[in-house]
Amino acid sequence: MRTLFIGDLHLSADRPDITQAFYHFLDTQLNDADALYILGDLFEVWVGDDIAEPFALELAAKLKAISAHLPIYYIHGNRDFLLNKKYAQLSGMQLLPEVKVIDLYGTKTVLLHGDSLCTLDKAYQRFRWFRSQAWARFIYNHLPQKRRINIANNLRAKSKASNKNKTMQIMDVESDAVQQLMQQTGASLMIHGHTHRPDIHQLQHGLQRIVVGDWYHQASVLSISLMR
């Protein structure tokens, strides 16, 4: 009995090797799993459920078949925050709020993508606030498909250029934000992605923070088992 956590796959048509690695994982690693949690950035970019690429639709069919016997949970990332109910239903994934507290074999655990913890990156947090507004999403979702694709491409280009000038400290999670969220939720374990720095951090008072790895160079899966 085990629960699996993954994130930051950044799947795209340009990287079929990552998609095939994910397929191999789905085909071979789920037999004794209780649940699969995807902690955001499953896709490199997501501009709308109505513009899903062929490889994404193929993946949805595969996930849908798996979801018939294994629950698949999904938390939005900073790259695919526009993934909506249509694709979730198509793939059998259950959408979770951006912060989710679960009972993980007796351990109160808080799950999230992790970008909200990077509070030192003020520019990104301003954008994050903007794209979370209902009116901004409404306007974007009613733009023509070509316009939405251009906006997404421009945002990706600006993000890459901006990140080159940011220190690793700014792009990492902030310890005060971690502590505050764990206090708010009462969790003793936090699991997130986003930073691409897989590690197990031992915090004060016996608390623990686990960061899942990205899939750019190899598959990365966190497996937590029920101890008997």
Q: What is the 3-state secondary structure (H, E, C) of 79-115?
A: CCCCCCHHHHHHHCEEECCCEEEEEECCEEEEEECCH
The CATH number assigned to the domain holding 20 equals 3.60.21.10
Task: Classify residue 148: in a domain, yes or no.
Answer: no
Provide the pLDDT for residue 191. 98
Residue ranges making up the domain that contains 29? 2-117+171-225
pLDDT at 228 over 80: no
Closest CA to 51 of 85, 88, 87, 11: 87
Task: Classify residue 153: in a domain, yes or no.
Answer: no
pLDDT at 19 over 90: yes
- Please give the structure tokens belonging to residue 2: 């085990």
**Helices vs. strands in the chain: H and E counts, helices first:** 8, 10
Give CA–CA dist 140/145, Å, rounded. Answer: 10
pLDDT at 156 over 80: no
Task: Classify residue 127: in a domain, yes or no.
Answer: no
Backbone angles phi, psi at 208, to 5 degrees: -140, 140
Q: Which residue has the tokens 């008072």?
A: 205
CB atoms within 10 A of CB 169: 10
Closest CA to 112 of 7, 11, 216: 7
Task: Classify residue 20: in a domain, yes or no.
Answer: yes
Task: Classify residue 138: in a domain, yes or no.
Answer: no
Provide the pLDDT for residue 153. 82
Number of domains the chain contains: 1
Helix-helix angle 16-28:54-67, to 10 degrees:
10
Task: Classify residue 128: in a domain, yes or no.
Answer: no
Provide the pLDDT for residue 157. 77
pLDDT tens per residue, range 92-136: 999 999 999 999 999 999 999 999 999 999 988 998 999 889 898
Give CA–CA dist 136/23, Å, rounded. Answer: 34
Kindly calculate the radius of gyration of the chain based on its CA atoms and give it in whole angstroms: 17
Helix-helix angle 134-141:122-131, to 10 degrees:
70
What secondary structure letter does DSSP report for 173? Answer: P
Answer whether 93's CB lies under 8 Å from 73's CB. yes
Task: Classify residue 126: in a domain, yes or no.
Answer: no
Task: Classify residue 150: in a domain, yes or no.
Answer: no
Provide the pLDDT for residue 36. 98
